[in-house]
Structure 1
Amino acid sequence: MSTTIYRGAAVFTADDAPARAVVEAFAVRDGRFSAVGTLDEVRAASDPASGPVAEVDLAGRFVAPGIIDSHTHLAGFGASLAKTPLRDCASLSEIQQRLLAARAADPEAARVLGIGWLFDAVGDGQPTAAMLDEVLPEVPVYLDANDLHSMWVNTAALREMGITRETPDPVGGEIARDADGEATGMLYETACTQYGWAFLEAASTADDLVHALDAAFRSYLAVGVTGATEMSLNAAEVSGLRTLIARDGRLPFPVTAHWILEPSGDAERDLAGITGIVALRDEIAASDAAEWLRIAGVKFIMDGVIDACTATMRAPYADGSNAEPIWTAERILPVAAAADRAGLQIAMHAIGDRTSEIALDAVEHCIRVNGPRPRRHRIEHLESVADTTIERMGELGVVASMQPVHCDPAVLDNWKAMLGDERGETGFPWQKFRAAGVPLTLGTDAPTAPHQPLPNLYIALTGGSVLAPELPPYHPERVFTPAEALTALTAGGAWAGEMEETCGRIRAGLDANFIVLDVNPLEAHPSALLDATVRSTHVRGAEAHRA
């Protein structure tokens, strides 16, 4: 069996020991790191008697563990690559023109699909079907908001979905209506998922899903991602991932997943959902797919987003409104306890400061009813959060899963306006989480935001904008050091996803997942990351991408 020694690089290991955090060489054997340290140490540990030893000179480049996107939506991300991008549209007119161009490019398409529009690009932030009907009255139009918590559709789409004044709002969602009760073109929260997304999923084919997953994996490998935590697993995606495993004998990289569970309004049905997740988890764990796909837990979307005023806040928004949580305390406590009892990791989407309090109440309830034991429950996003919540998270060991790319100043204008002047300056308090000893992991939440980890890293290091670099940074006093951010993107993601025994660091015995960059983030100015290239991506020692 052969060994390959990589030398001549600055190798960031993400090791806890400062003396081992950056080394000069490592060896790979049988898909795992076999030695890490000085070149002399690595050579001494690589015995030619055990097989051929080759050396690769990395010519001064930077090496890091493969990035783990700790919060992503693989199928949605892959599908989004074929949708019309709207994130850079600054006005309704720009959105309309972009949609017209998309239709002209594919006039026979059954639907026009778009993604990424911002509320503050639409006049008073109240999109309507009529605005889309002005330019595309005949073909159904479905536009995912930038945050993926709302969908904007035209009249043809409402008609195609069968949404009328009699269509009920689902639990935790809303169909926007006029004074006469007619739908006006916006689907919020679970109305988006249960009507818009469910319709489009039913209209797509199994091949469409496989193509989307293939595209997602290819795109991720090209930017240095070698592992992911899927945060919206459902039956269709399980089928698609298993199709890839049956076709190729593997996935391009291992996926840890959380099954998404929406409230049904029926407590017994919600509890039955946990039973079903546990059964599927155990079935996959006993199958040939187990090496590449693992169901770690359940995902509760507990509130919405600040831009749409659907995140639940302790105090009302600037316009006086507020939102009820999607999973109220009454609904979530028994379901969370059942999940915890079954050994499922609980991930809770909580953007508003009141919602994250309820999320921690759920964790404490699990401890009370199921007893103390090691747990790695996690809260996703935490954009606006109380200091007391951060302290409780540190005490309970709850993981903070955050996405610096959501803090790009170019997308914060409406976010800050909804919160109001004073509260709008208190978001994304990364430094407080670090000070409280809260375990941190960083991801992208693709496709709600770009999937590339290096721009995400840039925002984590600067608070600056990738979309509009000329903008002033959002509270740069809160940023990460390069080592802190790289660790959160690698070892932090592995630990949060219960994968630390196999990946996340460059350490002997772990899977040889690593990337080679042409920029050293530990030494270069952060702006160099905006033009940096991932020269190669390696999964279990094999090169999976080369620039």
Structure 2
Amino acid sequence: MTDTATVYRNAIVFDGRADAPVQSAFAVRGDRILAVGTEAEVHAAAGEGAAVVDLGGAFVMPGVIEAHAHLAMFGHAQGKVQLRDCTSVAQIQQRLLEARAMNPDATVIEGVSWLFDALPDGVTQPTGAMIDEVIDDIPVFLDANDLHSTWVNTAALRAAGIDRDTVDPIGGQVVRDDDGEATGFLLETAAMDLLADYLDGIRTEEEVDGHLELAFGAYLAAGVTGAADMGMTEQSMAALRRRLDRDGRLPFPVTAHWWLSSTGDPAADLAQVERAVQLRDELDATGTPWLKVVGVKFILDGVIDACTAAMVRPYADGSNADPIWSREAATPVAIAADRAGLQLAMHAIGDAASALAVDLVEACERANGTDIARRPRIEHLESVAPETVARMRAHGIAASMQPVHCDPAILDNWMAMLGDQRAEDGFPWNWFRDVDVPVALGTDAPTAPHEALHNLFIAMTGRSSIDRALPPYHPERAFTAAQALAAATSGAAHVGAIDDAYGRIAPGFFANVAVLDINPLSAPTDDLLTGAVLLTLVHGEVAYRRP
């Protein structure tokens, strides 16, 4: 990499801070930002002989940091049968038939992103028989939009070894009929754990490497220059390390949170923390900035659409769900991870789960002291009590949220499952802002579209990026453009504890930059849905240029 500076001029430069004035130029030397300011100031800092790039008045911002990613899963999902736009079981069946016709020699079919709203009126759960009607000779696995349940046919149940004698894993359920036979619908850890051996076994290393390649490429084209992978597994870690060993770098930096499963065995639970520490230390010893294990990920509950999120009060149908991790099981694991310097990231969608998440942080403070520079974070926070928000502020717990999960086009079932005032009190982004809880915005792709500009559109409007004719969901809670941009860049860096080098266009920071053809600070918000990324820089190098 050359020591000659490059000046990027004739631009509108948002430096990552919501309250900072925009500038007109910035300069890069090597992999770092050299200067930002007026063109005269930047040229003076760059010195004689600097290269000059005229950006033609384009908008410049720090590269988006995807605060909640699943890289390998996202890349894999791009090759699955896409079902998010299907509005009926018949459409899903037709989509599967089309996929089979395109690949008649397929030995398995995988689909993704079906919505509960596609089920017939009065039907709350799909069955394998619905798939068997069109494909019954090869396994079919269909991940729900939220990836917290999987709908399979009878052949898939056989392939995965699931039958009437299969024991439900902790935090999961194999849905069964009145005779005790599996129906073809698996919830939470039943979907994640019982299918893993079979599905992981049919994927080659080359395929997993290809999934990562697809994910990196899609994110770079969306202006993303870093990601917090919120569910790192052995298979994904191995693929990332293969890429790192091959190229000496990744397409952009990745911070990993090690996936924790509640096993029912305290020693096995703690062994997962030990594995995360081992991987962290191995990677840190190499000095690489491209891949780091920084934390652990608890899945404390499920999702509201499937009535598996842990709520204080029952759902509209009278059901409720316990947390996936019990307090007794989670507390020693959280304390061990915290003591080891690993960040706690806790999936909590229901109000009971988010209260438990704060309890775990309090337990860490009691056990390990309050002088540790911890930055715990709670993911999602779709239904949360005001007192939990206040407790988060008191304990320095950040809110990592995904506006794309609040798209009105996918909220009908979500609201119906709650059925009361809680359906109107969801996604209370303003509650966190009002008390200065640190906020990061991400997408959680593939549970939602990955495009950063679409995510910003929903954050700024409460409107649907899928069907703009729909009324917004509580637009009074929306972010301003500057707030949303900051939460997706410097906010995500702060919540991820990488804000000493990422998330801003400022001297000394890594030159991770996105150049857009629209100005989100002043353009009509609808333009975000048609706007494009022109250029993406990662560590000072062009990682994507719009064709």
For 1:35, the aligned partner's letter is: A
- In the alignment, which residue of structure 2 is the partner of 1:457? 456
- In the alignment, which residue of structure 2 is the partner of 1:342? 340
Q: Write the mapping of 1:517-536 to structure 2, written as runs, cut at 5 A.
A: 517-536=516-535
For 2:304, the aligned partner's letter is: I
Deviation by residue 1:343-390 (Cα, 9 ceiling, x = unmatched): 000000000001100000000000011001221000000000000001
How much does 1:125 deviate? Answer: 2.3
- In the alignment, which residue of structure 2 is the partner of 1:87? 84
- In the alignment, which residue of structure 1 is the partner of 2:144? 145
Partners of 2:458 and 2:280 lie apart in 1 by 35
Quick check: 1:393 aligned with 2:383?
A: no
Partners of 1:527 and 1:318 lie apart in 2 by 35
How much does 1:198 deviate? Answer: 3.4
Partners of 1:172 and 1:287 lie apart in 2 by 37
Q: Write the mapping of 1:436-447 to structure 2, written as runs, cut at 5 A.
A: 436-447=435-446
* Conserved 8 A contact 1:316-1:322: yes
For 2:311, the aligned partner's letter is: M
For 2:40, the aligned partner's letter is: D
Deviation by residue 1:94-124 (Cα, 9 ceiling, x = unmatched): 1100111011011111111100001121121
* Conserved 8 A contact 1:151-1:196: no
* Conserved 8 A contact 1:303-1:349: yes
How much does 1:43 deviate? Answer: 1.4
- In the alignment, which residue of structure 1 is the partner of 2:352? 354
Determine helix, strand or coil for the equivalent of 1:379.
Answer: strand
Quick check: 1:186 aligned with 2:185?
A: yes
Determine helix, strand or coil for the equivalent of 1:417.
Answer: helix
- In the alignment, which residue of structure 1 is the partner of 2:364? 366
Partners of 1:217 and 1:35 lie apart in 2 by 28
- In the alignment, which residue of structure 1 is the partner of 2:29? 29
What RMSD in Å do the two structures reach over aligned CA positions? 0.9
- In the alignment, which residue of structure 2 is the partner of 1:165? 164
For 2:98, the aligned partner's letter is: A
Partners of 2:82 and 2:310 lie apart in 1 by 28
Closer/same/farther in 2, CA of residues 407 and 140 from structure 1, 3 Å limit: same
How much does 1:291 deviate? Answer: 2.1
Specify which of 7, 29, 45 is matched with residue 9 of structure 2: 7
Partners of 1:99 and 1:241 lie apart in 2 by 31
How much does 1:21 deviate? Answer: 3.5
Partners of 2:149 and 2:509 lie apart in 1 by 40
- In the alignment, which residue of structure 2 is the partner of 1:505? 504
Quick check: 1:40 aligned with 2:49?
A: no
Determine helix, strand or coil for the equivalent of 2:336.
Answer: helix
- In the alignment, which residue of structure 2 is the partner of 1:274? 273
How much does 1:44 deviate? Answer: 1.6
For 1:164, the aligned partner's letter is: D
Determine helix, strand or coil for the equivalent of 2:269.
Answer: helix
* Conserved 8 A contact 1:187-1:196: no
Partners of 1:136 and 1:54 lie apart in 2 by 59
Partners of 1:519 and 1:103 lie apart in 2 by 41
* Conserved 8 A contact 1:31-1:542: yes
How much does 1:499 deviate? Answer: 1.1
Q: Write the mapping of 1:218-297 to structure 2, written as runs, cut at 5 A.
A: 218-287=217-286, 290-297=288-295
For 2:88, the aligned partner's letter is: S
Partners of 1:172 and 1:322 lie apart in 2 by 13
* Conserved 8 A contact 1:74-1:213: yes
Partners of 1:221 and 1:55 lie apart in 2 by 23
- In the alignment, which residue of structure 2 is the partner of 1:300? 298
For 2:445, the aligned partner's letter is: A
* Conserved 8 A contact 1:175-1:186: yes
* Conserved 8 A contact 1:263-1:327: yes
How much does 1:328 deviate? Answer: 1.2
* Conserved 8 A contact 1:14-1:21: no
* Conserved 8 A contact 1:15-1:506: no
How much does 1:531 deviate? Answer: 0.4
How much does 1:423 deviate? Answer: 1.4
Determine helix, strand or coil for the equivalent of 1:175.
Answer: strand
Deviation by residue 1:61-90 (Cα, 9 ceiling, x = unmatched): 100000000001000000001000000000
* Conserved 8 A contact 1:72-1:228: yes
Specify which of 61, 64, 76 is matched with residue 67 of structure 1: 64
Quick check: 1:122 aligned with 2:116?
A: no
* Conserved 8 A contact 1:165-1:182: yes
How much does 1:329 deviate? Answer: 0.9
Partners of 1:349 and 1:152 lie apart in 2 by 22
Determine helix, strand or coil for the equivalent of 2:111.
Answer: strand
* Conserved 8 A contact 1:256-1:293: yes
How much does 1:287 deviate? Answer: 2.4
For 1:332, the aligned partner's letter is: A
Partners of 2:357 and 2:500 lie apart in 1 by 28
How much does 1:197 deviate? Answer: 3.3
Deviation by residue 1:35-72 (Cα, 9 ceiling, x = unmatched): 11111111121222xxx212111111100000000001
Partners of 1:9 and 1:69 lie apart in 2 by 24
* Conserved 8 A contact 1:301-1:348: yes
* Conserved 8 A contact 1:255-1:292: yes
Partners of 2:398 and 2:451 lie apart in 1 by 22
- In the alignment, which residue of structure 1 is the partner of 2:55? 58
For 1:207, the aligned partner's letter is: E
How much does 1:495 deviate? Answer: 1.1
Deviation by residue 1:460-501 (Cα, 9 ceiling, x = unmatched): 000000111100000000000000000000011111111111
For 1:252, the aligned partner's letter is: P
Partners of 1:157 and 1:46 lie apart in 2 by 61
Deviates most, 240-249 or 452-461? 240-249
TM-score (norm 1): 0.98
How much does 1:7 deviate? Answer: 1.0
